Amino acid sequence: MSMDATELRELLHERAATATFEPLDPGSIISLAQIQHRRRQQTRAGAVLAGLVTAAVVTVLVVEAPKSERPASLIPATIAPQLTPSARLTPTLPAPSFAPLPKGWIAAPPGPLPVQDATGTRVGGKIVYWGGGDNGVGALPSYSTKGAVFDVTRRRWAAMAPSPLSGRTTMATAGSDGVYFVWGGYATGLGYFDDGALYDVVANSWKQVAPGPLGAQATVGAVWTGSEFVVVSGPGPHSGSAAAYNPATDSWRRLPDLPTTPASASLLLVSGRIVVFGAGASYVLSPDGASWSLIASPVNIDPATLTFASEGDYAYAVGTVASRPAPTPQPLSLQRFSFAAGSWDVRPSPPLPEVECYPTLAMSTKEVFLGYCGGNAVFNRAGQFWSSTSEAGKGRPVAIGSELVFYYPGADRTLIYTGP
């Protein structure tokens, strides 16, 4: 007895008819897609903070100093009295047992956060994870107002004091030596926010910041310049508008608008200069903050997958090559920028399979980490070569000095990649 095509068709149609499906709600899919897109942009913004290596060293020295010599708060004294009374840091959780890890990986205690989408931001020698929403599908996501701080030096977690901000995701965040800055963000049902706060990692206390001039809309990101937190707006009624918040005076000043807001834009520091890289157009802010100048952009990368990270004098970009016709999976292209070169140069391609995916990029002082649909590889910056690593999985990397910290929300796992 054999089976012909007609019989197989009948069986398949019968099987498919055993389940009745109603049309999905396009509105919820669009909302989720927009949230995911912003999350990816936010992940890139988190990696920007890898550029503050010098600041990290200073903070480690402060934190490691005898208690009597430590400042009560790293927020300037002019606004410190306004801070919410601090709560004691909660005891850290005992370290769980992990499977043996390969050389170059260290297991740390799991994080205490219930949230699944908290964004990691480097603040001196610590990483602050705050906010985020769950991955609810088909219903309004719920957002967390909780947060936790991972002390990279001591490999310990501590919970954060309650935040004065409502829960949100895709907010602009940045860290100074000891202060976490959060501005804007989005929550389904509430829209974009135009408020923000400072969190002092030493005093474990929050303070809301003065109202800003940017309005409630998407943000490209935020960076700490050494004296101000600079925020650039993303798509919205005032796309490309920029402002700087001074924590010492709790005041804002407007910066010139970007000439255009490029797709897949990232706000970064390169050689201490404020840069917005994007697809097709990239800009650097003049040292006096008076104007933006056009600089080179990566070439031949699909804007939808373009991802940036920076550290020190270099920025790297990765994304899928744009030249081949869709929908064939595209190979990845890695490119490097420095002001000394003034252009992007193509580096060796990552040794990862071609799939349709959004890459994740983070830079330590030694390596560039690339996450790509569960496949991971690290690029040695000095030797300019790739090697694969399997441990990172879907953890979100935050670079701090020469290390990369991977927090696995909801998976009770924290790993640190120290390199080979």
Where does this chain bind another protein (CB under 8 A)?
1-3, 5, 7-9, 11-19, 21-27, 29-30, 32-33, 36-37, 137-138, 304, 326-329, 355-357, 373-374, 394
Minimal distance, residue 376 CB to another protein, in Å = 13
Minimal distance, residue 139 CB to another protein, in Å = 12
Which residue number, 11 or 65, has a Cβ lying nearer to another protein? 11
- Of residues 390, 395, 387, 391, the one with CA closest to residue 411: 395
Q: 């708060």: which residue's tokens?
A: 73
Minimal distance, residue 26 CB to another protein, in Å = 4
Which residue number, 2 or 97, has a Cβ lying nearer to another protein? 2
Give burial (CB, 10 Å; 0-12/13-18/19+) of 156: middle
CA distance 172 to 119: 10
Which residue number, 213 or 393, has a Cβ lying nearer to another protein? 393
Which residue number, 51 or 141, has a Cβ lying nearer to another protein? 141
Minimal distance, residue 327 CB to another protein, in Å = 5
Minimal distance, residue 28 CB to another protein, in Å = 9
H or E element in which residue 168 lies: none
- Of residues 221, 176, 188, the one with CA closest to residue 43: 221
CA distance 224 to 238: 22
Which residue number, 12 or 101, has a Cβ lying nearer to another protein? 12
Which residue number, 53 or 373, has a Cβ lying nearer to another protein? 373
CA distance 304 to 358: 8
HSE, CB side, 13 Å, CA atoms: give it for residue 43: 23
Structure tokens at 287: 């040292």
Minimal distance, residue 10 CB to another protein, in Å = 8
Which residue number, 40 or 366, has a Cβ lying nearer to another protein? 40
Structure tokens at 50: 């890898």
Minimal distance, residue 16 CB to another protein, in Å = 4
Minimal distance, residue 138 CB to another protein, in Å = 8
Which residue number, 30 or 210, has a Cβ lying nearer to another protein? 30
| Residue 385 neighbours by CB distance under 10 Å | 12
Minimal distance, residue 1 CB to another protein, in Å = 5
HEC profile for 216-277? CCCEEEEEECCCCEEEEECCCCCCCCEEEEECCCCEEEEECCCCCCCEEEEEEEECCEEEEE
Which residue number, 194 or 354, has a Cβ lying nearer to another protein? 354
Handedness of CA 342, 348, 353, 359 (dihedral sign): negative
Three-state secondary-structure class, residue 50: helix
H or E element in which residue 301 lies: none
